[in-house]
A = this chain, B = another copy of it.
Amino acid sequence: MNIGEVAQISEVSSKMIRRYEEQGIIPKAGRSSSGYRQYTKNDVHILKFVKKSRELGFSMKDIKQLVSLWRNKNRPSSQVKKIAQKHIEELENKLHEIESILTNLNHLVENCHGDHRPDCPILDELECH
């Protein structure tokens, strides 16, 4: 298979497939005599794994490790779990931060009449420290 077909099946763009190869996240593809990258079903499988991992918000650094653990049939599941737990922690931190910002913003917006007049508690709050 050429890269375009694989991109369509895996739903990972050709651009990103090349980049993942460059970053060592997926194995280097074989080449046709004219230099086109050649892929197998297994490559599609890996790319789908990568895509799913991205959808769960893992960083490419994490995904590199996850792919390597996935392909190592003797991995200890504790290593996988550790990566996932660290990611969960980071997401929870981000969640709390966003929640706190939203609380602030909602208060401000509620108090702003939002009409033609210039008085604006939002700007007032941003101004005063």
Contacts and interface: CB of A to CB of B under 8 A. Distances in A.
Contacts of A73: 118
Interface residues of A, number: 52
A105 interface: yes
If over half of A's interface residues share one DSSP class (helix, strand or loop), that class is named, otherwise mixed; here it is: helix
B84 A116 contact: no
B66 A126 contact: yes
A1 interface: no
Contacts of A92: 102
B120 A56 contact: no
B94 A98 contact: yes
10 contacts: A52-B129, A76-B116, A77-B115, A78-B115, A78-B116, A80-B122, A81-B120, A88-B102, A88-B109, A91-B98
